[in-house]
Structure 1
Amino acid sequence: MWSKLDYIHMNPVRAGIVEKASDYIYSSASNYVHDSGLVTIEKMDNPIVDVLKSWSFTKYSSY
Structure 2
Amino acid sequence: MKNTLIPLSIGFFDPDKSLMETQSVSPHSLKQVSPKQRYAFALEVNQGWFANQAIKKGDRFTLKK
Q: Normalised by the shorter chain, which TM-score bucket? A: under 0.3
Q: TM-score, normalised by structure 2?
A: 0.22
Q: TM-score, normalised by structure 1?
A: 0.23
The structure whose RCO (Cα within 8 Å, separation 6+) is larger is 2
The structure carrying a bigger helix percent of its residues is 1
